[in-house]
């Protein structure tokens, strides 16, 4: 995985100017090559393997100073499924189409998963985070990204920018 990532980074740095693209645009074109359509929420276990973008719900939070693993929370951190702890998530706008579907829009920001949580009940499966809950939560299930902001106004700005929907591409950070 590391060798592949290093090769991709070098290819992008050398080739981007030749194609008149930014490094970020060229990297995403490599990552998303041969992908027919974004995966739906709930396919999170495959995001790190094939780099398909996934349509997710998102919110912002500003309470607490420590994440579930003891990390001091700061801007640039987010909460998602425990399996994604330590990974990075590249976030893109989710642009709603006339037919009600979403297409991937502009790049917004990259976050590191440094917190886990419950979210709200999915109505499916048993919770691993909260033993008193019958069903898994949306954050722990990996279908919701909760972005840490320093204050409430930052959370409001995040929700205005995203409308509560994003596309996410997980970049494996472990190893």
Query: How many angstroms separate the CA atoms of 17 and 19, rounded?
Result: 5
pLDDT band at residue 92 under the 50/70/90 scheme: very high
Assign 70 a pLDDT band (cuts: 50, 70, 90).
Answer: confident
The three-class DSSP label of residue 38 is coil
| Phi, psi torsion values for 27, nearest 5 degrees | -60, -45
pTM (two decimals): 0.68
Tens digit of pLDDT for each residue in 137-169? 888 888 899 999 999 999 999 999 999 999 999
Q: Which residues contact 136 (CB under 8 A, 6 or more apart)?
A: 121, 122, 124, 125, 126, 127, 128
Is the pLDDT at 90 greater than 80, yes or no?
yes
Q: Which CATH superfamily is domain 38-171 in?
A: RlpA-like domain (2.40.40.10)
User: Is residue 40 over pLDDT 60?
Assistant: no
Give the pLDDT score at 123.
73
Instruction: Give the residues across from 104 on adjacent strands.
Output: 94
Domain boundaries defined on the chain: 1-31, 38-171
Query: pLDDT digits over 96-128, tens only?
Result: 999 999 999 999 999 999 988 887 777 776 666
47 has pLDDT over 50? no
Q: What pLDDT, on a 0 to 100 scale, did the predictor assign at position 44?
A: 40
Does residue 15 have a pLDDT over 70?
no
């Amino acid at each position: 995985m590391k060798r592949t990532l290093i090769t991709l980074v070098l290819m992008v740095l050398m080739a981007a100017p030749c194609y008149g693209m930014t490094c970020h645009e060229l990297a995403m074109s490599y990552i998303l090559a041969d992908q027919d359509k974004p995966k739906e929420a709930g396919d999170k276990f495959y995001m790190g393997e094939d780099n398909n973008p996934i349509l997710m719900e998102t919110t912002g939070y500003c309470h607490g100073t420590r994440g579930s693993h003891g990390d001091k929370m700061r801007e640039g951190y987010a909460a998602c499924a425990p399996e994604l702890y330590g990974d990075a998530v590249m976030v893109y706008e989710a642009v709603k189409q006339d037919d009600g579907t979403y297409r991937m829009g502009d790049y917004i920001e990259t976050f590191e998963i440094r917190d886990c949580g419950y979210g709200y009940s999915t109505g499916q499966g048993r919770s691993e985070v909260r033993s008193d809950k019958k069903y898994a939560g949306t954050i722990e299930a990996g279908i919701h990204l909760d972005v840490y902001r320093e204050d409430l106004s930052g959370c409001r700005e995040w929700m205005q920018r995203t409308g509560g929907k994003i596309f996410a591409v997980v970049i494996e950070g472990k190893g």
